[in-house]
């Protein structure tokens, strides 16, 4: 009996302890929910002590400029070298202690005070991860910026200079970057979705693996730009200069490539499925193994283009006989590609699609494209097609023709 009573009391005590533990956890959760905003604020460096420290140091730098021989420009020569080294050492030291928000605040302060123009300030600072979202860097000189994973989301970078900057894994999503200078910049794996890059200078920039989905690059200069494996799905490349640019393995699905210059560009293994290729110049471009399935080719120049193993899959329809007036609907349906055999003024096309001096028969056709696109190419660009063909080339054409005939006879 005594043993039973003892067990009963022990069970009740365990149950009470369990309830108290649950109440304690609930209380702790409520406490943490209240203190979390305070912790977030501190981590984002809205804490006045951090802001005051950065501001105070910038004031000291400004005093150093005023002590120099000339106050209009700031360089190591114009400021006492010893004093400069001490101040710059303090600046580097404070950078190491700041979090991402403070780094963004510091960069903004350096830019707006004009100190970023100094050839030694930005390139020796650790601004990796700096948070610069929605900041205004209009016409700022960031050409010596070195930062990994910096965040410029929705920032204004119009007319800014980032040439030769090294900012891999940067985030530019939604940023306004019209007339920006990115020539020679390293922007590998950068996230640049929905960016406005009208008239931007990206000559010789490194954008390997960059995400430029749905970005507007109208009239931008991408001559000799490295865009290998970049994602340009749905991007607008109207009137772009892309001479000798490297777009190998890039994704240009449903991209708008209108009146663009891609002469000598490398697009080997690029995905141009359902891309809008209107009146663009691919003269001497490399399209080896490129996917042109259902691409809309209106007055496009493929003269001397390397098309070996390029994929022309799906049905192609000649615009001349096209009854649909809305090309966007045809593109959205993905039912057929389009090409233009003759000038069609109703659609604003002034010239035919041109495959002159290209060995187009070395491309890869499926049954649908063999029925529709192949006859057009045979009628207008039959070999020698402006080329001096060797016996081996003729054999290649005959083999391709046999393959197409076999494909068309096959009922499966």
Euclidean distance between CA atoms 203 and 209, whole angstroms: 17
- pTM for the model: 0.79
Most confident stretch, 5-14, 321-330, 380-389 = 380-389
What pLDDT, on the 0 to 100 scale, is given for residue 21?
75
pLDDT for res 29: 63
| Whether the predicted pLDDT of 91 surpasses 90 | no
pLDDT tens digits for range 92-147: 877 887 888 888 888 888 888 777 777 677 888 889 999 999 999 999 999 889 99
- With cut-offs at 50, 70 and 90, classify the pLDDT of residue 236: very high
Task: Specify whether the CB–CB gap between 156 and 175 falls below 8 A.
Answer: yes
Choice among 1-15, 184-198, 397-411 with the minimum mean pLDDT: 1-15
The pLDDT value given to residue 351 = 87
- Bigger pLDDT: 318 vs 284: 284
Which is nearest to 385 in space by CA: 321, 329, 268, 305?
305
- CB atoms < 10 A from the CB of 60, how many? 14
Rounded Cα distance between 227 and 12, Å, is 70
Lowest mean pLDDT among 16-20, 308-312, 402-406: 16-20
Q: Are 303 and 285 in contact (CB under 8 A)?
A: no
pLDDT at 14 over 70: yes
Domain boundaries, the chain: 41-130
Q: What is the largest CA-CA distance in the chain?
A: 111
36 or 159: which carries more pLDDT confidence? 159
Beta bridge partners of 317: 338
| DSSP collapsed to 3 states, 9-27 | HHHHHHHHHHHHHHHHHHH
Work out whether the CA dihedral 340, 341, 346, 351 comes out positive or negative. Answer: positive
Residue 378 has pLDDT above 70, yes or no: yes
Question: Looking at the DSSP assignment, which residues form a beta bridge with residue 318?
Answer: 339
Phi, psi of 320 (to 5 degrees): -55, -35
Give the closest residue to 212 by CA, choosing from 405, 34, 335, 222: 222
Strand-pair category, 315-318 with 336-339: parallel
- pLDDT (average), residues 60-87: 54
The answer on pLDDT for 393 being more than 70 is yes
> Does 390 have pLDDT greater than 70?
yes
| For residue 361, pLDDT beyond 80 | yes
Please tell me the number of Cα atoms within 13 Å of 411 on its side-chain side: 0
Whether the CB-CB separation of 182 and 143 falls below 8 Å is answered with no
Enumerate the H helices of 44-153 as residue ranges: 48-66, 81-97, 100-112
Crossing angle of helices 100-112 and 81-97, rounded to 10°: 150
Cross-strand pairs, 191: 171, 211
Which residues, 6+ apart, have CB-to-CB distance to 61 below 8 Å?
A: 87, 91, 115
CA distances for 391 relative to 45, 101, 346, 387, angstroms: 74, 68, 43, 12
Is the bond into 384 cis (omega within 30 degrees of 0)? yes
């Amino acid at each position: 009996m005594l043993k039973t009573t003892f067990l009963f009391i022990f069970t009740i005590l365990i149950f009470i302890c369990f309830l108290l533990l649950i109440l304690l956890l609930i209380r702790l959760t409520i406490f943490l929910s209240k203190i979390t905003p305070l912790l977030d604020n501190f981590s984002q460096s809205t804490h006045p002590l951090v802001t005051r420290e950065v501001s105070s140091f910038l004031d000291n730098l400004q005093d150093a400029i005023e002590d120099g021989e000339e106050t209009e420009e700031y360089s190591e020569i114009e400021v006492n070298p010893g004093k400069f080294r001490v101040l710059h050492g303090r600046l580097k030291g404070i950078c190491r202690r700041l979090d991402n928000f403070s780094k963004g605040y510091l960069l903004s302060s350096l830019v707006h005070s004009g100190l970023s123009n100094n050839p030694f300030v930005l390139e020796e600072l650790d601004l990796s991860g700096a948070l610069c979202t929605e900041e205004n860097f209009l016409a700022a000189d960031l050409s010596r910026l070195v930062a990994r994973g910096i965040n410029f989301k929705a920032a204004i970078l119009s007319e800014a200079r980032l040439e030769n900057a090294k900012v891999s894994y940067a985030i530019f999503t939604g940023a306004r970057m019209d007339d920006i200078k990115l020539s020679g910049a390293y922007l590998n794996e950068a996230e640049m979705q929905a960016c406005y890059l009208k008239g931007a200078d990206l000559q010789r920039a490194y954008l390997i693996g960059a995400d430029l989905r749905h970005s507007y690059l109208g009239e931008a200069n991408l001559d000799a730009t490295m865009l290998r494996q970049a994602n340009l799905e749905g991007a607008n490349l109207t009137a772009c200069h892309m001479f000798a640019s490297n777009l190998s393995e890039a994704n240009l699905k449903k991209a708008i490539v209108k009146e663009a210059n891609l002469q000598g560009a490398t697009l080997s293994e690029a995905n141009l499925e359902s891309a809008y290729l209107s009146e663009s110049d691919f003269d001497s471009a490399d399209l080896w193994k490129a996917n042109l399935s259902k691409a809309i080719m209106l007055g496009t120049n493929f003269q001397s283009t390397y098309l070996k193993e390029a994929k022309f899959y799906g049905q192609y329809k000649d615009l001349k006989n096209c009854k649909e007036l809305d090309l966007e609907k045809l593109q959205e349906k993905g039912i057929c590609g389009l090409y233009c055999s003759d000038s069609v003024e109703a659609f604003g096309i002034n010239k035919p699609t041109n495959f002159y001096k290209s060995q187009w028969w070395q491309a890869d056709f499926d049954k649908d494209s063999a029925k529709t696109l192949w006859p057009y190419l045979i009628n207008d660009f039959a070999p020698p097609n402006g080329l001096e063909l060797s016996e081996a080339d003729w054999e290649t054409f005959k083999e391709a023709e046999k393959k197409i005939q076999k494909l068309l006879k096959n009922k499966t």
